[in-house]
Each structure stands twice: as structure tokens, then as C-alpha cells.
Chains A and B, each alone.
Chain A
Amino acid sequence: MSDLHELLYELKKREDFEIRVNVQPAIKLPAGLNKKLIYEISEAKNEPAWMTEHRLKSFEIFEKWHEPDWGVSREELDLSKIVPYVKPNAKKTTTWEEVPEEIKQAFDKLGIPEAERKYLAGVGAQFDSEMIYKNIKEELKKLGVIFTDIETAVREYSDLVKEHFMKLVPPTDNKYAALHGALWSGGTFLYVPKGVKVPLPLQSYFLFGNPGGGQFEHTVIIADEGSEVTYIEGCTAPRYDVVNLHVGTVEVYVKKGAKMKYLTMQNWSKNMFNLEIKRAIAEDDAVMTWVSGSFGSYKTMVYPATILKGNNSVSENISISFAGPGQHIDTGSKVIHIGKNTRSTVDARSISIGGGWSFYRGLLKIMESAKGSKASVSCTGLMIDNKSKSDTVPIIEVYNTDSDVGHEAKIGRIKDEQIFYLMSRGLSESEAKGLIVKGFIQPVVQELPFEYAIELNRLVDMEIESSIG
């Protein structure tokens, strides 16, 4: 193929994948951070007084807090230029027919309505700062499952929300948690009653359509005693010439004997600062599983955390992060063992390609009370080429002698013999590399519903092709 053909092919591929939505928002607050703006957000949402108070208090904390002195450099992130709230010109609805055509087309392109029909128990769709669509199967509603946007939950399930909202991730946690507490908008509230086992996954998808905007969605999930549920979170945005910011927060409460699986497929555009906070607390015999795929964004800092508070509780953390050209992906996991006989496993895999930098940062803490606990952490870095960088920095703190803790890490490349073998079978170099990478990410892929696994493999092909050229 000539260079020109290659360029056209590349542009076409991006066009196929890029989602652009050109709709005028109903409200777009000016860039900047101040109390007046917080009042305006609160008023636009018709919030109860306690939530307005919460926002103002968080803002005070934000103003006093220093920047975290670790992670990716955030010099290019000027918070005063971020547009904190963009309300789309669309009312909240439970039918896709009522979603404005252009927004619906974007979600169609992402395959969300089709996925809902085929294999999801419920779907939420957020555009910019608000959820515009939320629906759940009638059978689950009858069983008492609540799946709604967080604003509705604040009004309709006030006590339940008040008990859990920013209790696991308080605004005092760090500067960005405080920022989130002040500006949060959109997100999901999911409550699964005692003993209810949701047979199909629920999903929320976050789409971003405004240059310079910030998205601050908040997710609260309560899996009550003995329940089981899988939740999928997906996100994407078109690329703009200015910095966008995502500071989502997720709080998951896994009650006694419950099982919760939280899957994330992050594919933000390459101008996004993705600074997320995800935390779960597991009670006795509960199981919390995080499955994370980080593909997009310019810079990412996200470390899904599980607090194993209950005896015999379990945490699993499976992740794959992909750092392509110009990307700095700082991800990891945190597990804190408090209860007796708690168990945790971390399987973190990263791929660096085209000059990207992937950085694993983890914390495993075994408290004195966590007698008889077992934990293992495995980090593997795959460097596809010689321009990229792969680092792993796990912190392991063991405060009792009755626990077994193991950690191992390896960083390496795809061996020439592997490529040669596959090329001798007729594959091109990029196909061969793609196949090996797909094998490498298999532990994540196998956790996904079938259609998502196909999508993830397609994404890997695209990233490999565009990085190798």
C-alpha cells in the first residue's frame, strides 16, 4: 500500500470508530470553579438542601487541599478552564424513541440499544453531565431492584443514598474527591435486594460531547445480603484539541454473602485526563471482583480498591491497561485486608506500545486483625516496541504473621521467534502481534460478555495497527 493509501485507510478507520455528536446543550455553565456555580448545578438538579450543603462543604475542602504529590504530571490540566456542567438538551427517558435522534445515533453506533435488547438486564446512558436514558427489565423492578440515575435516587431514595453517598470515598480523601463532591453530576444508583440474583449484566455508558468539559458522574451500588450482580461501565468521547477531564467516583457496598462484579471498559479520547476513584467494601463472605480495561485517555490515574472488612471476604482484581503513543496510564489496585481469612488476588497486565508509558501502582495491606489471610499480586508488562516504557511499583504492607502474601512481576517483550512462527503461517506482522496481545489479555476478555469480548479484540487490533503502522 502506498503512503497515501495507508493514510486514507487510517483516517477511515478512525472515522468508523469516532463518535461525534453536534447538539446544542440546554445548559452549559461557564468554565471555572466557584460557589455560585455550585449553587447553579444544585438548582438545575432541584436537589434537597443536604446535597447542596454537601457540595459546598466539598468545595471548601477542595480549596484547602493540596494536589496529590504522586501520579501523572497534571501541569496541562487547568481546572479553571474546565466546563464543569453541561446539561444536554434531552429529558430523562426510559425509551430510546424519546432520546434526541443525534444522541441516539451515537449510542446506536456504540451498539448500546442493541446490546440492551440482546443480553443486558438494564441500561443507563449518560451524555455530558446527565443521564438521558435509564431502563431496567420489568421482572427485576418487581423483585425490588433499583436501577436509576443518581439524581432521581437522591430525591426518591433519600435515606438510602444519604447513608452511602461519599461515605466510602469522602471528600476529604484527596483534592479530586473533594472536587467531585462539589461538582458531581449524573451517574448510577443500583440497589439489589437481599437474595436477588440478577441473571444478566446491567450497564451504564458514558459519552462525552463537549470540548473542554468535565464529567463527574457518581455511582453507588449496594448489593444486599446474598445478592449477585454484574455491572458494566463503558465510556468514550471524541477527541478535541483542548483538555477534557473525567473525575468519576464509584462506591460499591457488597453486603454479607453477596457477589458483585464491576467491569469497566474505558476508551476515552486521547485528550482526556481520567482521574477516577473506585472503592468497594466487602462484608462477611462477600466477593468483590473488579475487571478493568484501560485503553483510552491521555493520562489516567485509577486504582480500584477493595476493603475486605468482613471475615472470609474475597477480592479479585483483573486488569489490562494499554498505553499507546503519547499516553501515560498510571493504574493499579488497592486491597486492604481487615477481616479474618480474607483472600485477594490481583492480576494486572499492561501493554506499552508506540512510546506509551504504562505504570502499575498498587497497594496491598494486611492489617493485624486479618489473621489467616492470603493474598497474591501478579503484574506483567508487555512492551511491544523499544520506544515505550513499563514500570511496576507495588506496595505490600503485612502487619500480621499468620498470613501468606506473595507477589511477582515480569516485564518483557514479544519474542522474535513468536512473530516469525506466526508470520510463517501467513500472518502479517501486525496480525501476529495482535494475536499474541489478544492471548496476553485473555484473562480480562474471558470475564466479559461475548459481544464485549469481540469488541475488545477489535479495539486491540485497531490500537496495534495504528501504533505499529
Chain B
Amino acid sequence: MNTTKIEKTLRLEHQNLRGIVPQRKTIDTEDYKVDDFKPSGNNLLDEWRIRRLSEYLTYKFPMWKRTGLKSLSLPNVLPYKGLEALDIDGLNLLETLDFEGTDRKFVLLADVFSSSGEYIVVENDTTIVVNDVSQFDNTLIDIRNGELNFVRIVENPFFIGNLRIKVRRNAKLNLYNLYLGTSKDDLLISNVFIDVENDSKTIVKDFYFGGKINVGYFGMRVNAENAYADIRPYYLGNEKTVIDILYLMRFYKPNSYGNVDAKGVLTDEAKVVFRGIMDILSGAKEAEAHQSNHATLISLKAKVEAIPSLMVDENDVVASHAASSAPIDENMVFYLMSRGIPKEDAQKMIVRGVFETLKDELKRYNLEGVVEHALDSVLG
């Protein structure tokens, strides 16, 4: 298996048969040019960035119907910051972590024009909290040994970022991505790509709240045996927020486990688009892949769109997905009311309960207030 290829989002081929990949629709908008390129001072990195720029210029920006992305206004390019510390090992790693993401154009944009980010090598148990990302962020993490607790808070009115993580043999990652909109004009496009090795463990919690358009791609290449991945996306949407999130897990080798369990609450006219792809290639025997999305709707105009996909080329697997959307469970409300809790409070308790695990885990970083604040602003 050649890992230097681009990890495509959709794999619609089987033997000599082919499925048709939907055409990419584009928008015409003013784009960056070659002159906007800002050198980093690292020749190794800049050669790579220039190759990326060359590809970047071949694409227009995508138009996304479900998300409502119909136009785009780009900010001025800031001085380069991101992977200046990249060495030859880092470059080799970067080359193996290439992916399509939400859209290839946005991945390349953050690679070329980032103004924040870092190249991080982890050799021992480490905790990192990042809360100063810029408009375009590019971060590369290589967890060679030990356990990394990585917390990233994105609270920008405009954010397009790439986060690539390699989790090496026996290493462990605990990742918390907290995407917090600041106003109702915000645009957030996040690409996270994780490549894991044998016997690694990956635990992820994503939390999406606020903003206007939130688009998240989370891709995971499980080209490994006995790897374990548990991904928990949470979303809380109010007003006219659109949260469009894609979770891809691709299994290449036997005996790995992957689970994506999304939960969320929507009110007002908020909309969530949940796309899940569990892709199990031939040879990934005894892989176990589960995926689910459960949305609780507490207003008349909230919307849920779910596309939970399973793609399976190997028959010796356990693969399942489930999706549901429903109003708050009346039985649960009734139970709480029978304990003397007023109906409105009972409903709020149930909604808060959806995020309880996330809040508990964030306590160790003193960040539980982030979720509490979001819930307060929605539930009052």
C-alpha cells in the first residue's frame, strides 16, 4: 500500500467497475495569486508550499448546496507562520499525510497561506492547549511515543485550517477540537487528518457551536492492525447556524476498531449535515466499524440531514451504522416531571445531559465552562 497517495474522500471503484463521483460545482470569486505567497524562511518547506500553490491555482472554490456556501470573500494574506520548524523527517511525514478533505482547494489554501500553526514532535506524555489560531492554520503533529493530550479552541470569525496527526505504534492521542462561533457571520472550515499505526489509540471529541457556516472534515487512515479509535462529535446549533461535518474512517488492515458516535441538539433554524463514511478495504479482516448520529430537535424549524455510509470490500467484518432524529423523549420528560421538576426545566436537563460527558472531560483543562456557556446561550 502506497501511503504517499492522496486520501480521497470517496472511493467508488470495485474491480473493473466504477461509480460516478458527483461533479464539483464552483463559485467565481477573487482568489489569491502567486504574488500573495509569503516565504517562510525554510527552503525545504517553501519548495513544498510552492508545489502546493501550483496545484492550488488550478482549482476554483467549491459551491456547497447543503451548506449554503455560495460566495466567499478572502482576507488579506498575513505573514507566513505554521510549519517553519519542519525538517526532512517532518517533510517526509507531511508528504504521506495528503488528503482531499472538505475540498482539495481549502486543504491547499491552508498549506500555502497559513499564518498560524506548528510542527510538533511528541516523544513523551504531553499536554498542549492551543487557543491562538489565526485565519489560516496549518499544524502537523508526530506522536512518536507516549500520550498527547491536545486541546484546540478555534474562536475566530474566519478560519480555514489543517491539522495532520501521525499516531505511531503504541502511542495515544486525546484530541479535543472546540469550534466556537463568535458571530452569526462566521465561516469555519476545518480539516483534520489522522494516520495511525499498529496498536495505537485515538480518542477524539469535537464540539461545534455557533457561527454561520461550520464545515468539518475528519479523516482517519487506519492502515494499521489492532488500532483503536473512538470519535465523538457533538454539535449544538441555534439561530441559523449550519454545521456540516464529515467523518471518514478507512480501514486497510485487520483487527482494528473504529467508532464514530455523533450527538447533538438543534434549536431555532439551525441545521446539521452529518456525513459519515466507514470504508473497509479488502484485507481488513475482523475490523469493527460503527457509526451513529442522534439529533435532538427542540424547535419547529431545525433541520437534520444525515448521510451515514458504509462501504465494505471485506466480508469478515462487523460494520454498522445508525441514525435518528427526534424531538425530546416525552417519556424522559414525564419521568423528571413525576419527580417534581417543571416541564421546561426537565427538557433543559435532558438537553444538557447530551453534553455531560464532554463537559466532565474538559474539567481537567478548566474548559467545561466553554460548553456550559454555549448551552446557557441556547437554553437560557
Contact = CB atoms under 8 A, between A and B. Distances in A.
Given A384-B315, A409-B320, A411-B319, A395 B307 contact: yes
A404 interface: yes
Contacts of A398: 295, 297, 303-305, 325
B312 interface: yes
A328 B17 contact: yes
B22 interface: yes
Nearest to B282: A386
A406 B324 contact: yes
B68 interface: no
Interface string A321-352: 00000101010000000000000000000000
A394 interface: yes
Interface in A380-425: 381, 383-413
A69 B22 CA distance: 5
Interface stretch (A70-78, A158-166, A192-200): A70-78
A402 B316 contact: no
B307 A388 contact: no
Contacts of A72: 17-20
Contacts, number: 137
B300 A400 contact: yes
Given A73-B17, A359-B19, A396 B304 contact: yes
A296 interface: no
B325 A389 contact: no
Nearest to A391: B311
A402 B18 CA distance: 40
B304 A392 contact: no
Nearest to B294: A406
A29 B241 CA distance: 57
Contact of B20 (A73, A355, A399): A73
Nearest to A399: B303
Contacts of B186: none
Contact of A391 (B20, B295, B302, B309): B309
A301 to B, nearest CB: 10
B310 A357 contact: no
A396 B323 CA distance: 9
B326 interface: yes
A368 B304 CA distance: 11
Contact of A390 (B297, B306, B312, B326): B312
Nearest to B323: A407
Nearest to A386: B315
B327 interface: yes
A394 B303 contact: no
B315 A388 contact: yes
Contact of B324 (A68, A73, A407): A407
A394 B307 contact: yes
A401 B18 contact: no
A388 to B, nearest CB: 7
Contacts of A69: 20-23
21 contacts: A69-B21, A73-B18, A74-B20, A383-B315, A384-B315, A385-B315, A386-B314, A389-B311, A391-B310, A392-B309, A396-B305, A396-B306, A396-B308, A397-B304, A402-B300, A403-B326, A404-B324, A406-B323, A410-B320, A411-B319, A411-B320
Given A71-B19, A73-B20, 13 more contacts: A69-B23, A70-B19, A357-B14, A384-B315, A393-B309, A394-B309, A395-B306, A396-B323, A398-B325, A401-B299, A402-B327, A403-B325, A412-B318
Interface of B: 14-15, 17-23, 282, 295, 297-327
CB-based closest 10 A-B pairs = A383-B315, A413-B315, A401-B297, A73-B18, A69-B23, A389-B14, A407-B323, A398-B304, A393-B309, A357-B14
